[in-house]
Amino acid sequence: MSPRTRHSLELVLDNLVWFMLVFVLAVFSIFIPNFFQLGIFANIVEASSVLGVMSIGLALVIIAGHMDLSVESVAALSAMAVGIMFCSSGIGLGLQLYPDWLMVPVSLVIALAVGAIIGVINGFLIVRLQMSAFIITLASYIWVRGLVLVISGGRSAQDLAPAIRWFGIQRLAGLPLTAWIAVACFVVFSLILAKTPFGRHLVMIGGNETATFRAGIRVNRNLIIAFVLAGAIAGLAGWLLAIRTSGATANLGVGLLFNAFAAVVIGGVSLKGGVGTLPGVYAGVLLLSAINTAINLMGLPANFTQVIHGLLVLAAVLLDAFKQTIRQKLA
Amino acid sequence: MSEPLLVLDNVTKNYGAIQALRGISFSIGRGEVVALLGDNGAGKSTLVKIIAGGLEPTSGRMLFEGKEFLARSPAEAKAAGIETVYQDLSLCTNVDVVANFFMGREITRKVLGVPVLDERAMEAVVGKALANAGTRIPSLRTKVEHLSGGQRQAIELNRFVHWGGKLVLLDEPFAALGVEQTRRGLDMIRQVASQGIGVVIITHIMQQAFQVADRIVVIRHGVVAGDVARNKTSPDAVINMITGETLAGAGPAS
């Protein structure tokens, strides 16, 4: 095999999920009437913003060799905190700040802080007390959702302040600002993971934690930062969710966790840690969103989505195993 | 020899009721190669971990360059100038050769105040270091998982030669190497020592110890059972020290 074919084959393997996305979009465009139009593609991007942002945080900790099941509940708690403070009906307190735009940074900081605090708790328990990330974040998944129910009393907040809602309405190049926020997050965190020492260390910690410790990398510090980032990013997802739904309900975002896992796995991130890139995860998110949109357009009952998502995850895992065998032949 | 590089003074380590080290005292000079020998479970690896910052001693003290020294983490030992090569390789197989070579010490440049990896500069350094050592690896961008055991060990050895520091600890570094690579590895150790760096090498192979070491220290049951200059002893005498039979030819090095 010549170096060039080997190189291009590597390129295809590394970006397989993007080729899958293009393939799926092409197939849908050919076979589904009305699929091929800018509005539909914009809708795919728009509908994936909350899931996309949440998947970034999840992917970071999984790449570092751990796990965060709490992201969904954290997003709900952040959304509820923002909802209670800045919604004017339901359980909303209708807090007003002058000038109006001040509510944007304040609500954003609150959402991020809520997420970061839970991230600190998760990270501290996992790293300092050497407990399993699966169990600790499973507990957080449950108690944080419980906290949402407690502070809301099971009721909902509606009518988010217009100054904050503005992000979901104002469009730039056909996409609402919330979608641009998600895209910007992917760009920023992709660069951090691929180009900075911190990102490189996370990947290496996921690959061989002992080796990185011996090499003098501050493993615990890096891991706690990763969990705080995952929490804060989930908080941002909650902020976007509150804008999208113009408020918050007690069961907001239920089920997002499994979609986020699906996106991360489809995007080529290995649950064993150390493997995966964020652009791949974004392709995974878009792929799920494209399939949802296609199902809507075809008028299939929405219940089918779950079956298809499940099969897609299965296909992604099988594909990953297949990729490994090809790579072994390449090496 | 003037002031020794590292002095161990009655270092002990207990795991609960078990005494792994019962009081180790010896010293290493600059540019000196010390072979650390001993049977399985004698405490060699424990000792290396204590010097390298992976474990804290229960009691005793260490002097590094004449100053009181205790590494609470590998990062602290590294900062002091102590490099370690462990017997189970310390490589991240999920990243490429360059990333492994620079693990924890990446070259960066600032872009808008943010440190960004300078891949080109790092690749150039690694290429040069491997070429100097005569190690051939097809592509420095290959992930380490695709490399052979010998190539992996060569990367580790080249890494410590490159970074050097002041003291190098090698815990069975040649376990996966072939004859030719082992010979080159031993040459590397002499070369490193000639730069004034102290070297401690743990090995099971008597022949290697006699090929490379200036001094041989034998540990048995957590104490120093022998500390002799290489040219004043013989393999048979060392084996007797390891197994604990008569201490023929053994005695303090000084």
State pLDDT tens for residues A264-319: 998 989 888 899 999 999 999 999 999 888 888 888 887 888 888 888 888 888 88
Residues from chain A contacting residue B74 (CB–CB below 8 Å): 213-216
Whether A201 sits inside 8 A of B104 (CB atoms) is yes
Asked if B59 and B70 sit in the same domain, the reply is yes
- Residue at which a domain ends, from B145, B163, B181: B163
Of B74, B84, B93, which is closest to A208 when you measure between CB atoms? B93
At residue B63, φ and ψ (nearest 5 deg) are -120, 125
Residue of B nearest to A201 (CA): B104
Whole-angstrom distance, CA of residue B231 vs CA of residue B222: 25
Of A212, A330, A331, which is closest to B103 when you measure between CB atoms? A212
* A9 contacts chain B (CB < 8 A): no
Tell me: pLDDT of A331 over 70: no
Whether B106 sits inside 8 A of A195 (CB atoms) is no
What pLDDT, on the 0 to 100 scale, is given for residue A32?
86
Asked if B225 and B170 sit in the same domain, the reply is yes
Asked if B47 and B68 sit in the same domain, the reply is yes
- Residue at which a domain ends, from B126, B141, B163: B163
Asked if B225 and B182 sit in the same domain, the reply is yes
B86 lies in a domain? no
Q: Token pair 């699966």 is at which residue? A: A134
What pLDDT, on the 0 to 100 scale, is given for residue B145?
85
Tell me: pLDDT of A148 over 90: yes
> For the sheet containing A87-90, what is the strand order?
A87-90, A157-160, A247-248
What pLDDT, on the 0 to 100 scale, is given for residue A307?
86
Instruction: Name the token pair of A222.
Output: 């890096």
Whether B95 sits inside 8 A of A203 (CB atoms) is yes
B71 in helix, strand or coil? coil
What pLDDT, on the 0 to 100 scale, is given for residue B153?
80
At residue B108, φ and ψ (nearest 5 deg) are -130, 160
Asked if B250 and B191 sit in the same domain, the reply is yes
B89 lies in a domain? no
Tell me: pLDDT of A188 over 80: yes
Strand duo A87-90 + A157-160: pairing? antiparallel
Asked if B129 and B211 sit in the same domain, the reply is no
**DSSP H or E run through A24:** helix A16-31
Q: In which band, very low, low, confident or very high, does the pLDDT at A185 lie, cut at 50, 70 and 90?
A: very high
Q: Which segments within chain A are labelled E, that is strand? A: 87-90, 157-160, 171-172, 175-176, 247-248
Residue of A nearest to B98 (CA): A200
Instruction: Name the token pair of A213.
Output: 């410790």
Contact residues for A303 (Cβ-Cβ < 8 A; gap 6+):
none
Instruction: Name the token pair of A178.
Output: 């919330």
Whether B94 sits inside 8 A of A275 (CB atoms) is yes
Q: Which domain holds residue A228?
A: 3-330
> Higher confidence at residue A133 or residue B113?
A133
Tell me: pLDDT of A198 over 90: yes
Q: What is the mean pLDDT of residues A169-185?
A: 90
What is chain B's percent helix, strand, coil content, to nearest 5? 35, 30, 35
What pLDDT, on the 0 to 100 scale, is given for residue B253?
43
Could you read off the pLDDT tens digit of each residue along chain B, which spans 254 residues? Answer: 467 889 988 888 888 888 888 888 888 998 899 999 888 877 888 888 899 888 888 998 898 888 888 888 888 888 888 988 887 778 998 999 999 999 988 999 998 888 999 999 999 999 988 887 777 787 888 888 888 877 888 888 888 888 878 898 988 877 767 787 788 788 888 888 888 889 999 888 888 888 888 999 988 888 888 888 888 888 888 888 888 765 544 444 43
Asked if B27 and B55 sit in the same domain, the reply is yes
**DSSP H or E run through B219:** strand B215-220
Asked if B198 and B249 sit in the same domain, the reply is yes
Residue A48 is part of a domain; what is its CATH number? 1.10.3470
Q: Which domain holds residue B25?
A: 1-81+164-254
Neighbours of B202 (CB within 10 A): 23
Give the total number of structural domains in chain B.
Answer: 2
Contact (CB, 8 A) for A76 and A143: no
Residue B180: Cβ-neighbour burial (10 angstroms; 0-12, 13-18, 19+): exposed
* pTM beyond 0.95: no
Tell me: pLDDT of A63 over 70: yes
Contact (CB, 8 A) for B21 and B67: no
Q: Token pair 């998944």 is at which residue? A: A141
CA nearest neighbour of A10 among B191, B220, B143: B143
B12 lies in a domain? yes
B198 lies in a domain? yes
- Residue at which a domain ends, from B136, B163, B190: B163
Whether B99 sits inside 8 A of A200 (CB atoms) is yes
Tell me: pLDDT of A175 over 60: yes
B228 lies in a domain? yes
Strand duo B108-111 + B114-117: pairing? antiparallel
Q: What is the mean pLDDT of residues A82-94?
A: 88
If you average pLDDT over each of A27-36, A182-191, A288-297, B5-14, which comes out highest? A182-191
Whole-angstrom distance, CA of residue A319 vs CA of residue B3: 61
Mean confidence (pLDDT) of chain A: 90
Strand duo B59-64 + B67-69: pairing? antiparallel
pLDDT per residue over A226-273, tens digit each?
A: 999 999 999 999 999 999 999 899 999 898 998 899 899 989 898 888
* A274 contacts chain B (CB < 8 A): yes
B28 lies in a domain? yes
B150 lies in a domain? yes
**DSSP H or E run through B145:** none
CA nearest neighbour of B253 among B220, B223, B214: B214
CA nearest neighbour of B4 among B20, B26, B21: B26
Q: Shortest Cα distance from A318 to chain B (angstroms)? A: 20
